[in-house]
Structure 1
């Protein structure tokens, strides 16, 4: 396939190959060497790998949004291969009382992956759960309310509920364990712990928005919270890969 000198295409190829180089691609130096073949006025046969670079680069270029989710991650809002920028949909939550934003990428459970709009990654099931603060643990805990307050959605300052995310699309304001700048045992692999307010707590009006790991664990000890359907509180065995992006306070 012939290519004429085109600075836009050349930038696109360079950006694509820069990604390969940054990832440590074994043949990135070979690919970068081939770029110079396109800088002339006309070439009858571009190298196959550069041809693919051009095609792939333009296939995933959605700078104004509305990306094709058959080609990009479901959390991508926009992607600009010219400016080398990607806009992600961020999730709000709390870590030790401080608001944070994180991005959901993968889940070990296919149902959770479908709900969250992330990649199903069954290989994450091989990671040991249930010991987030132990030596050499690969996980941290994330606490998700099953029946927290959800009336009026995001207009309710105490909004926090898994079912709200399923029914009205609002994020459930999950609580995360340690994150960078707060704890030294951070991991982006979150061991999902579901909790449920007891019926007595609901009847007595005790439900409120929780923002801190040890507050939740204390309420479990005091029998305000249990696991789903009154069962013992603990790990569900499901892991989500959700890197922290920003701490607001």
Structure 2
């Protein structure tokens, strides 16, 4: 009887049909208190729960272990401050930080086997169940052309519309102007097709951040040692994480998976995903704005002395790339972020992994006077902008954003889920 019942549920999932008596957001108020009636559809909570349950059950069958158990206490210490509770292990050694995540199997738009990770969910309870970051702002991606739709098939595997080509050879060369950034050549090592987006909408309207890391064409560039860094029997993958600053503290570890623009996709070893640019809304970052994005600030021309403790910026990351070939991962740009994920906060939560870049630039006068240093927080950034030492690197690209110190949006989205921010 149990197998018959499971088969019936899976059939409904494939068809995208809700079960009798399913509740929706009318009965389950939205986590941030907003009315999402203006969106195309609302979340079918019961269907979302079934979708997630079957994805987890299939993973557990494939890996012969639990995907995540929300009832168990965290395996990480308070000092480690790990947000991604589904992480199997994490190495916060500052010289080579990595995270090991569960790797699920699915089917891509070419009908081929694909392995992927889940890092965020748009619903509070589903994020808890999956052990991933809660990102209510992802709801605003629904109905846009920037997402891809997916279903759960009768075997419990995700079936995607799009696919990624991991075969290109990543290549980056410094710019020929005053700074290494922007580069003169930027060729990403992975390219999504016209249907690919990491922001996935299931039939229930649950939104997941689900990025492929392996398929028939190759591996994600954030996998540090190729096939040795993943296991297809135990279903895990090791991924490099990057340093950043938030609230005056370094080691704001995040994982770059995708980018809308070829330049950040190449610099930070992500998948070039053009569809991300169709997710609303550049330059909008506050709770009151209906945007799936959240503003942050890379530094375009920070100190590029690779031996300096004050090294920071996109130029320094480009210069650190071995021979410009990408054969080794570049040094981190050390970008500046506004907030941490708040996975225990169901309402008034502003976290999103879709970071809307507002690239800053030290002025010639600030450089001449020796004021260049690491920018360590949004408050610090605002102070430098107010003093006139820092301006927008791309002043004509996008709208001015008061949330990001009045800098202009650079019209570049980087998908970088936040993994941990250790307190020691």
Distance 2:365 2:394 in 1: 13
Distance 1:68 1:156 in 2: 39
Q: In the TM superposition, what is the alpha-carbon distance from 1:248 to its structure 2 partner?
A: 1.2
**Which residue of the partner structure matches residue 246 of structure 1?**
420
**Which residue of the partner structure matches residue 62 of structure 2?**
14
**Is the 8 Å Cα contact of residues 106 and 119 (structure 1) preserved in structure 2?**
yes
Distance 2:235 2:334 in 1: 30
RMSD: 3.1
Q: Deviations over 1:62-105 (max 9, x none)?
A: xxxxx999422111121112232211011110111223111001
In structure 1, stretches of 5+ residues that fail to align are 1-10, 31-66
Q: Are residues 1:175 and 2:175 paired?
A: no
**Which residue of the partner structure matches residue 130 of structure 1?**
283
**Alignment match of 1:121 (pick from 255, 263, 273):** 273
For 1:10-49, list aligned pairs within 5 A.
Answer: 14-15=62-63, 19-20=104-105, 25-28=152-155
Q: In the TM superposition, what is the alpha-carbon distance from 1:230 to its structure 2 partner?
A: 7.4
Structure with greater proportional helix content: 1
**Is the 8 Å Cα contact of residues 342 and 351 (structure 2) preserved in structure 1?**
no
In structure 2, stretches of 5+ residues that fail to align are 1-58, 68-103, 107-129, 131-149, 158-213, 321-329, 401-406
Distance 1:189 1:29, change over 3 A: closer
Q: Deviations over 1:151-170 (max 9, x none)?
A: 1x1x4221112111111132
**Which residue of the partner structure matches residue 109 of structure 1?**
261
- Secondary structure in structure 1 of the residue aligned to 2:303: coil
**Is the 8 Å Cα contact of residues 196 and 230 (structure 1) preserved in structure 2?**
no
Distance 1:20 1:148, change over 3 A: closer
**Alignment match of 2:367 (pick from 179, 197, 202):** 202
Q: Are residues 1:216 and 2:381 paired?
A: yes
Normalising by structure 1, we get a TM-score of: 0.70
- Secondary structure in structure 2 of the residue aligned to 1:218: helix
Q: Which runs of 4+ in 1 moved over 4 A?
A: 20-24, 229-232
Larger radius of gyration: 1
- Number of residues of Structure 1 aligned to a counterpart in Structure 2: 200
Q: Deviations over 1:11-55 (max 9, x none)?
A: 998339x9359997221259xxxxxxxxxxxxxxxxxxxxxxxxx
**Is the 8 Å Cα contact of residues 179 and 186 (structure 1) preserved in structure 2?**
yes
Normalising by structure 2, we get a TM-score of: 0.43
Distance 1:119 1:69, change over 3 A: farther
Distance 1:210 1:113 in 2: 22
